[in-house]
């Protein structure tokens, strides 16, 4: 445990809650979840599951109905075919990722996680004999960057030369995408099919973060190992949440378009507003619901209280304490001197937050 550092995200949330406890109105733009509610037809499926007595243990790796819904989804959205024994459902994408790494990584193995900054071809040259996994996350948290078809094809070319490297693709923001079309790497390069493990879930697209359902699809041997690990730790994910997730994947998707449009409008609003903040540099994200903003131009400046802002941690502290806006420091994502601003919040909150951030930038000298 001594090797695990407390998360800077939690530090910000704790500080924001402390200030809220003191009666201060904090504008929280730190959330990693949609501010929308879970759609009614999904909630109703859960109520129905309770009334029908679907309240018992299920198969460890997920109900037959949910696995079938996942298989249909992967064929419908991603043009990929899977069998039920290639799917394992867990309590959120996070648990699935944890189990996947736990089940496969041995001392000395290497995992490549590109720094959260557009396409990192440089990281590809980091492949060694010990490399076990390359992790891909597009649309990306925290940058909102999206890999295009061409970029995924280029990455595939490198991976085809290194057959010992498997790929985890975290597709959790698949449906929250604006001007680009979503592709997952196994769809772009079918020769990688056996080496790609797709991780996805219902948290972001269906506003179901609290329900805790995620899944992995890939070659049976590793998926089976993940399921074995799960069988000796948490057992099956919640039976009622599985029924709700089945409805989410099989049911009406009309609301997705509408919600994505709302996120896009918010993105455009945020980008335009924050572009006028002196010292900040904003790029336009193509997906997810975050802006990853460089605060390099702020470094070295002094706050009204005479405190020097030396890095992103100082800047987020300044924003929170002096301007009552909570955002996440880039260092939490392995990238210093950036801040992550979530726009999964109401227009009113976004306006308050942007105005405060702009003021904070203007008032440090």
Residues at the contact surface with ligand PLP, assessed by CB under 6 A: 32, 92-94, 137, 141, 170, 172, 201, 203, 209, 214
- CB-wise, 166 or 203, nearer to ligand PLP? 203
Q: How far is CA 298 from CA 126, 142, 364, in A?
A: 32, 20, 8
Cα separation, 56 vs 21, in Å, equals 40
- CB-wise, 155 or 216, nearer to ligand PLP? 216
36 burial level (CB within 10 Å; 0-12, 13-18, 19+): middle
Tokens for 102, please give them: 């736990």
| Residue of this chain nearest to ligand PLP (CB atom) | 92
- CB-wise, 63 or 141, nearer to ligand PLP? 141
- CB-wise, 208 or 309, nearer to ligand PLP? 208
Residue 311: CB atoms within 10 A of its CB come to: 17
Q: How far is the CB of 267 from ligand PLP (least distance, A)?
A: 16
Q: How far is the CB of 52 from ligand PLP (least distance, A)?
A: 25
Q: How far is the CB of 93 from ligand PLP (least distance, A)?
A: 3
Q: How far is the CB of 73 from ligand PLP (least distance, A)?
A: 15
Q: How far is the CB of 137 from ligand PLP (least distance, A)?
A: 5
What is the DSSP secondary-structure string of 191-237?
Answer: GGGGGEEEEEESTTTTT-TTT--EEEES-HHHHHHHHHHHHTTT-SP
- CB-wise, 209 or 275, nearer to ligand PLP? 209
- CB-wise, 87 or 360, nearer to ligand PLP? 87
Q: Which residues contact 19 (CB under 8 A, 6 or more apart)?
A: 26, 320, 321, 324
Q: Which residues contact 57 (CB under 8 A, 6 or more apart)?
A: 235, 236, 239
Q: How far is the CB of 223 from ligand PLP (least distance, A)?
A: 17
- CB-wise, 96 or 186, nearer to ligand PLP? 96
Closest CA to 236 of 29, 120, 95: 95
Query: What single-letter DSSP state applies at residue 336?
Result: T
Q: How far is the CB of 287 from ligand PLP (least distance, A)?
A: 11
What is the DSSP secondary-structure string of 248-300?
Answer: HHHS--HHHHHHHHHHHHHHHHHHHHHTTSTT-B----SBTTEEEEE-GGGTT
Could you tell me which residues are beta bridge partners of residue 329? 339
């Amino acid at each position: 445990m001594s090797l695990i550092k407390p998360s800077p995200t939690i530090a910000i949330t704790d500080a924001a809650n402390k200030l809220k406890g003191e009666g201060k109105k904090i504008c929280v733009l730190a959330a990693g979840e949609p501010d929308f509610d879970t759609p009614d037809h999904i909630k109703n499926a859960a109520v129905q599951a309770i009334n029908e007595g679907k309240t018992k243990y299920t198969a460890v790796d997920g109900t037959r109905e949910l696995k079938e819904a996942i298989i249909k989804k992967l064929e419908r959205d991603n043009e990929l075919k899977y069998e039920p024994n290639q799917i394992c459902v867990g309590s959120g994408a996070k648990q699935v990722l944890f189990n996947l790494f736990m089940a496969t990584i041995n001392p000395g193995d290497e995992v490549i996680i590109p720094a959260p900054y557009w396409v990192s071809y440089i990281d590809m040259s980091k492949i060694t004999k010990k490399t076990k996994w390359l992790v891909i996350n597009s649309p990306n948290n925290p940058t909102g960057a999206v890999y295009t078809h061409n970029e995924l094809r280029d990455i595939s070319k490198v991976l085809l030369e290194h057959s010992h490297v498997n790929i985890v693709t975290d597709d959790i923001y698949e449906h929250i995408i604006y001007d680009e079309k979503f592709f997952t790497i196994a769809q772009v390069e079918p020769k990688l099919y056996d080496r790609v493990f797709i991780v996805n879930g219902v948290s972001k697209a269906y506003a179901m973060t609290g329900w805790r359902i995620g899944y992995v699809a890939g070659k049976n041997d590793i998926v089976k190992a993940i399921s074995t690990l799960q069988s000796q730790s948490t057992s099956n994910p919640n039976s009622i949440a599985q029924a709700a997730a089945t409805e989410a994947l099989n049911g009406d998707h009309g609301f997705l378009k509408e919600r994505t449009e709302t996120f896009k409008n918010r993105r455009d609003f945020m980008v335009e507003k924050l572009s006028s903040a002196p010292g900040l540099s904003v790029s336009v994200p193509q997906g997810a619901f975050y802006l990853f903003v460089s605060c390099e131009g702020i470094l070295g400046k002094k706050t009204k209280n005479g405190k020097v802002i030396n890095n992103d941690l100082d800047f987020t502290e300044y924003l929170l304490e002096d301007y009552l806006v909570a955002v996440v420091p880039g260092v939490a994502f392995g990238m210093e001197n950036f801040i992550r601003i979530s726009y999964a919040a109401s227009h009113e909150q976004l306006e308050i937050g942007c105005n405060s951030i702009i003021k904070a930038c203007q008032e440090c000298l």
